[in-house]
Amino acid sequence: MDLAPVIDGFGVVLEPVNLLYCLIGVVIGMLVGVLPGLGPAATIAILLPITFEIEAVSAVIMLAGIFYGAQYGGTITSVLLRLPGEASSVVTVFDGHALARQGRAGTALGIAAIGSFVGGTVSVIALSFLAPLVASFALDFGPPEYTALALLGILLVSTISSGSRLKALIAAGLGLLLAVVGRDAFTGTERFTFGSLDLADGLDFVPIAMGLFGLGEILHNLEQRHRAIHAPTEIHDVWPSRQDLKQSSGAIGRGSVLGFFLGILPGGGAVMASLAAYAVEKRRSQHPERFGQGAVEGVAAPETANNAAATSSFIPLLTLGIPANATMAVIFGALLIQGIRPGPQLVEQNPELFWGVVNSMYIGNVLLLIMSIPLVGLFVRILRVRPAVLAPITVLITLIGAYTVNNSVFDIILVIAFGALGYLMKKAGFDPGPLVLAFVLGALLEESLRRSLLLFDGDPTGFLTRPISGVLFLALVIVAFLPAIRSLLSAREKEPVG
Contact positions vs another protein (CB under 8 A): 139-143, 183-189, 197-198, 200-201, 338-341, 343-345, 406-408, 447, 451, 454-455, 457
- CA–CA distance, 188 with 57 (Å, rounded to integer): 35
Inter-residue contact 47 to 67 (CB < 8 Å): no
> Smallest gap, in angstroms, from Cβ of residue 184 to another protein?
8
**Quick one: 51 or 221, whose CB is closer to another protein?**
51
- d(C-alpha 373, C-alpha 239), whole Å: 9
Query: Given the complex with another protein, which of 182 and 259 has the nearer CB atom?
Result: 182
**Cβ 136 to another protein, closest distance in Å?**
12
The DSSP element (H or E) to which 190 belongs, if any, is strand 190-191
Comparison of 15 and 184: residue with beta carbon closer to another protein: 184
CB of 404 vs another protein, minimal distance in Å: 11
Q: Which is nearer to another protein, 270 or 445 (CB)?
A: 445
Question: In the complex, what is the shortest distance from the CB of residue 451 to another protein, in angstroms, rounded to a whole number?
Answer: 5
- Judged by CB, which is closer to another protein: 197, or 370? 197
- Find out whether 91 and 79 touch, Cβ atoms under 8 Å: no
Residue 265 buriedness (CB in 10 A; 0-12 / 13-18 / 19+)? buried
**Least distance (Å) from another protein to the CB of residue 21?**
20
CA–CA separation, 303 vs 319, rounded Å?
26
Residue closer to another protein by CB (options 141, 291) is: 141
DSSP 23-55: HHHHHHHHHHHHSSS--HHHHHHHHHHHHTTS-
Nearest approach in angstroms of CB 439 to another protein is 16
Using CB atoms within 10 A of its CB, is residue 180 exposed (0-12), middle (13-18) or buried (19+)?
middle
Report phi then psi at 191, rounded to 5.
-125, 120
Indicate the residue among 142 and 232 with the shorter CB distance to another protein.
142
Helices (H), 323-466: 326-337, 346-349, 351-372, 376-382, 387-406, 409-427, 432-455, 462-465
Closer Cβ to another protein, 249 or 404, answer by number:
404
Instruction: Report, in Å, the least distance between residue 201 CB and another protein.
Output: 5
Q: What is the DSSP letter of 398?
A: H
**Cβ proximity of 193 and 201 under 8 Å:** no
Nearest to another protein of 29, 343 (CB atom): 343
Rounded-to-integer distance, Cα 327 and Cα 394, Å: 19
Task: Name the minimum Å distance from CB 344 to another protein.
Answer: 6
| Closest separation in Å from C-beta 49 to another protein | 13
How far apart CA 460 and CA 453 sit, in angstroms, is 7
